[in-house]
């Protein structure tokens, strides 16, 4: 029997993060470089997302793109060395964020046995999904895990907010305190208790606690960007969110939804926005206007675009 749609949201609430210790060290030097998204004036564009995160010498890959070789080829063109990156975060189960994992591990392992050997996920990512018409679509993460572990990879599940490096935190599952529906309709997830609506309860973001405020990196933002920034501020009490980077899944949002989203981002203190992947072009431009930002502080993310604590947003020629 189909259970209420709130079941997955309730699971996320139960796994909500607790406030982080105020004495934790803050990140000093941060850079995020986009390696997979649709817009590209260098490298290859695709419907997918991946970004390299570098914080005070610590490096991780956040998501792995859709096609198996896109991130590899874009990293080579951008002269980005991924062989020295041990950690990879998979924000959620969808193939446009996990498609490159196995090829990346296979290609990089001969250069370094530890390359992408530790995958960070949230609970629920391996549950099978069913799409309308019976298509099981992206219900392959269990087999991806088996193949990844056969290559020597290790999976780490985060049921709550956890620090993975000084100043670098994973949200774990995000509390759905606002009724945002930034996820595909008509998909069900097969839980041990039965099939429920798939709200992508494992959707997880990265939060960097920087010297000037928080930087939030999202894959698709299926938990809702207002929910994500609210949780980030709960994790680090008293901090504002300086920047948001990644996919926000607002491409289908109407004017009322965008206005409400902008109000939540404004309250959180957002001053910089790199809206990539599923954010939507029009959504980025509307958020730019509604937040009172400009073409230097709110851009469409492109392959090679970056955000850094030193120089802010470097959008690339096409996105500038």
pLDDT tens for each residue of 189-218: 999 999 999 999 999 999 999 989 999 999
pLDDT in 10s for each residue of the chain, 320 residues: 233 343 444 444 444 444 554 557 799 999 999 999 999 989 999 999 999 999 999 999 999 999 999 999 999 999 999 999 999 999 999 999 999 999 999 999 999 999 999 999 999 999 988 887 665 544 479 999 999 999 999 999 999 999 999 999 999 999 999 999 999 999 999 999 999 999 999 999 999 999 899 999 999 999 999 999 999 999 999 999 999 999 999 999 999 999 999 999 999 999 999 999 999 999 999 999 999 999 999 999 999 999 999 999 999 998 88
Q: What's the CA angle centered on 206, arms 115 and 210, to 5 degrees?
A: 105
pLDDT of amino acid 21: 46
pLDDT of amino acid 23: 57
Q: What is the CATH number of domain 27-313?
A: 3.60.15.10
pLDDT of amino acid 134: 61
Please compute, for residue 26, the number of CA atoms within 13 A of its CA located in the half-sphere on the CB side.
12
SS3 at position 43: coil
Q: What's the CA angle centered on 43, arms 39 and 45, to 5 degrees?
A: 35
Give per-residue pLDDT as tens, 107-160: 999 999 999 999 999 999 999 888 876 655 444 799 999 999 999 999 999 999
pLDDT of amino acid 132: 79
Strands (E), 86-184: 87-89, 118-121, 129-130, 154-157, 162-165, 168-170
Phi, psi of 189 (to 5 degrees): -120, 135
Q: What's the CA angle centered on 255, arms 251 and 261, to 5 degrees?
A: 75
Q: How far is CA 207 from CA 20, 36, 101, 161, in A?
A: 12, 20, 22, 10
């Amino acid at each position: 029997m189909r259970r209420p749609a709130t079941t997955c949201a309730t699971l996320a609430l139960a796994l909500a993060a607790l406030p982080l210790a105020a004495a934790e060290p803050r990140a000093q030097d941060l850079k995020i470089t986009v390696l997979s998204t649709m817009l590209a004036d260098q490298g290859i564009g695709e419907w997918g997302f991946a970004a390299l995160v570098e914080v005070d010498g610590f490096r991780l890959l956040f998501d792995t793109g859709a096609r198996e070789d896109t991130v590899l080829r874009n990293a080579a063109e951008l002269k980005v060395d991924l062989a020295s990156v041990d950690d990879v975060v998979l924000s959620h189960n969808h193939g446009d964020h996990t498609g490159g994992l196995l090829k990346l591990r296979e290609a990089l392992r001969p250069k370094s046995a530890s390359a992408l050997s530790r995958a960070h996920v949230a609970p629920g990512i391996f549950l099978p999904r069913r799409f309308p018409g019976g298509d099981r679509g992206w219900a392959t993460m269990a087999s991806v895990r088996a193949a990844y572990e056969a290559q020597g990879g290790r999976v780490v599940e985060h049921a709550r907010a956890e620090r993975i490096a000084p100043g670098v935190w994973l949200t774990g599952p995000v509390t759905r305190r606002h009724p945002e529906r930034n996820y595909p309709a008509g998909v069900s997830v097969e839980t041990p208790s039965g099939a429920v609506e798939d709200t992508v309860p494992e959707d997880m973001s990265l939060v960097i606690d920087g010297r000037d405020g928080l930087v939030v990196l999202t894959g698709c933002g299926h938990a809702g960007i207002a929910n994500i920034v609210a949780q980030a501020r709960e994790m680090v009490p008293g901090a504002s969110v300086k920047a948001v980077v990644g996919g926000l899944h607002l491409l289908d949002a109407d004017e009322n939804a965008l206005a409400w989203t902008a109000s939540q981002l404004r309250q959180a203190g957002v001053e910089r926005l790199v809206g990539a992947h599923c954010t939507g072009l029009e959504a980025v431009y509307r958020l730019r206007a509604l937040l009172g930002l400009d073409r230097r502080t709110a851009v469409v993310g492109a392959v090679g675009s970056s955000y850094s604590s030193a120089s802010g947003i470097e959008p690339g020629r096409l996105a500038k």
